[in-house]
Amino acid sequence: MGYDEAVSYLLSLPPNKHSFDELRAVLKKFGSPEEKLRVIHVAGTNGKGTVCRVLSEILKTAGYSVGAFTSPHLRRVNERLSLNGEEISDEAFAGLLTRAAEASSFLDSPLSFFELLTVAAFAYFYESRADFVALETGIGGRLDATNVVPRPLLSVITSVSLDHTDLLGGAIEKIAAEKAGIIKENCPIVLHRNPEKVYNLIKETAREKSAPFYYDQADSRASFYPNREPGFLMSLDVSGEGYAYRGLRTNLFGLYQEWNLRGALLAAEVLRRLGLRLTAEGAREAIAKAAHPGRCEFITKNVLLDGAHNPDGARALAETLAALGRPVVAVAGILRGKAYKEIAQTLAGASDAVIFTKADEERGLPPEELRAAVSKKAAFLAGSSAEKTPSKKAAFCEASPRAAYERAEALRPEDGVIVVAGSLRLVGTLRAYILSKG
């Protein structure tokens, strides 16, 4: 298959679910890479992609070759497979997908979108002789295709909160149990700061599996410089068991990034204890270079992009916007199946005006439905499409993301910031549009 054909084939696949034995049978045709690669397996509701990015940068800075398998992508599916920070080429991607599809043709049903990508990722990193792989789960952990790995070098669980409740359950304990499914016998586990119920469940699972347990108990102090240009957006002093940093600089923005960085540093410390040649100087350099597009990303000095696609993520963004101290005009779109009322109300409450739009042509909720979720609140009024300036706390609707962004530009005061949030699909669409405008 050529590249376009491979992508079309991938998108056409039904949401089948195969057993780990079936996935291992497919992977065996590539030399069983899941058994031979040194994997850092990362699960969690929010923050897992950033942790994969930061750990990959730390390992790369130390001179290692590092593969990263992350999701979702913003614009191109190639983004999900990267080696040393470079996404896979179209030619290599098409070739791998063709081979993975052929290798799985003996199954009673075709692999799903995510399963096929998982097989392709393992094959790519193995054949590229990656020293390490940062492997992000898709949904959950216990039954996720990435959990075909029998023995990771290290497992990491980031923040756990309610999301994908139709698949993982409506209680945080059930979701935490699914994430805990990546913990393997005698393999170390790093846990980020989490609610007590999550902490207790993860710690008990680690005890049952004799897995060394590391918990983020670091002391830290973050200073934010959201209006500095050029320069770094955050400076962090952090110290924990076996490590200490002062003036750790990063362009990863957002109050919650403090916790992601702390978790990544703890994971790096555990890897150092396992014998990797990691240094404090290297970690400092890596964190200064680390980036995660579309996740609390200032794409210009007046435009901030953040997925914020679940209630916890929306609250974290709202806290950051409060600390930012600038007028906010939000462009928001949310996919079906999400806790849209809570997300929409949180984003609208953190904004001076919000323009709702359809995040995705097929899966996006109608903007009118989103506006209805916030207009019932006394502080919000439905804005007229003819208005040039919003009433205080006004909500508008636009059919297309581009029209919503253009309206936001017209409404933004000189000292204000446009925030695009609610869905990574929406973020990906508008990120490409904004960059094309120059």
Q: Render pLDDT for 112-159 as a digit per residue (tens, 0 to 9).
A: 999 999 999 999 999 999 999 999 999 989 999 999 999 999 999 998
In the chain, what percentage of residues exceed pLDDT 90?
75
Q: What is the mean pLDDT of residues 208-236?
A: 75
pLDDT over 80 at 310, yes or no: yes
Q: What is the mean pLDDT of residues 268-278?
A: 96
**pLDDT the model gives residue 256:** 84
Q: What is the mean pLDDT of residues 33-50?
A: 96
Q: Tokens representing 339? A: 């806790």
Ranges of each domain in the chain: 3-217+253-259, 297-437
**pLDDT the model gives residue 382:** 57
Q: Render pLDDT for 337-347 as a digit per residue (tens, 0 to 9).
A: 889 999 999 99
DSSP letters along 276-306, please? ----HHHHHHHHHH---TTSSEEEETTEEE-
**pLDDT the model gives residue 392:** 55
**pLDDT the model gives residue 230:** 44
pLDDT over 90 at 229, yes or no: no
Q: Which residues contact 254 (CB under 8 A, 6 or more apart)?
A: 295, 296, 306, 316, 317, 320
Higher pLDDT, 263 or 132: 132
Is the domain covering 3-217+253-259 a CATH 3.40.1190.10 domain?
yes
Among 186-190, 236-240, 380-384, the minimum mean pLDDT is found in: 380-384
**pLDDT the model gives residue 216:** 79
Which amino acid, residue 29?
K
In the chain, what percentage of residues exceed pLDDT 70?
91
Cβ atoms of 363 and 336 closer than 8 Å: yes
Q: If you search the block for the tokens 């614009």, which residue do you land on? A: 75
List, in sequence order, the alpha helices (H) in 187-296.
196-208, 257-273, 280-289
Measured between alpha carbons, how far is residue 212 from residues 136, 185, 208, 223, 319 in Å?
A: 20, 9, 11, 32, 33
Query: How, if at all, do strands 86-87 and 132-136 pair?
Result: unpaired
Among 247-256, 268-277, 429-438, the minimum mean pLDDT is found in: 247-256
pLDDT over 60 at 74, yes or no: yes
The conformation of residue 88, written as its DSSP 8-state character, comes to P
pLDDT over 80 at 303, yes or no: yes
pLDDT band, very low/low/confident/very high, at 59 (cuts 50, 70, 90): very high
How far is Cα 124 from Cα 121, in angstroms, rounded to an integer?
A: 5
pLDDT band, very low/low/confident/very high, at 376 (cuts 50, 70, 90): low
Q: What is the mean pLDDT of residues 177-195?
A: 95
Class of domain 297-437: alpha beta
91: enclosing H helix or E strand: helix 90-103
Cβ atoms of 83 and 124 closer than 8 Å: yes
Q: What is the mean pLDDT of residues 147-176?
A: 83
pLDDT over 70 at 232, yes or no: no
Measured between alpha carbons, how far is residue 415 from residues 4, 225, 394 in Å?
A: 43, 15, 18
pLDDT over 80 at 217, yes or no: no
Among 186-190, 244-248, 308-312, the minimum mean pLDDT is found in: 244-248
**pLDDT the model gives residue 235:** 82
**pLDDT the model gives residue 377:** 58
pLDDT over 80 at 374, yes or no: yes
Q: What is the mean pLDDT of residues 164-193?
A: 85
pLDDT over 60 at 55, yes or no: yes
How far is Cα 156 from Cα 41, in angstroms, rounded to an integer?
A: 6
**pLDDT the model gives residue 18:** 97
Q: Tokens representing 425? A: 């699909």
pLDDT over 50 at 385, yes or no: no
Closest CA to 279 of 131, 132, 59, 67: 59
**Other CB atoms closer than 10 Å to residue 33's CB: what's the count?**
21
Q: Over the chain, what is the mean pLDDT?
A: 90
Q: Render pLDDT for 289-299 as a digit per residue (tens, 0 to 9).
A: 999 999 999 99
**pLDDT the model gives residue 380:** 58
**Other CB atoms closer than 10 Å to residue 378's CB: what's the count?**
7
pLDDT over 60 at 386, yes or no: no
pLDDT over 70 at 13, yes or no: yes
Q: What is the mean pLDDT of residues 342-364?
A: 94
**pLDDT the model gives residue 254:** 85
Burial 401-435 (b: 16+ CB within 10 A, else e): beebbebbeebbeeebbbbbbbbbbbbbbbbeebe
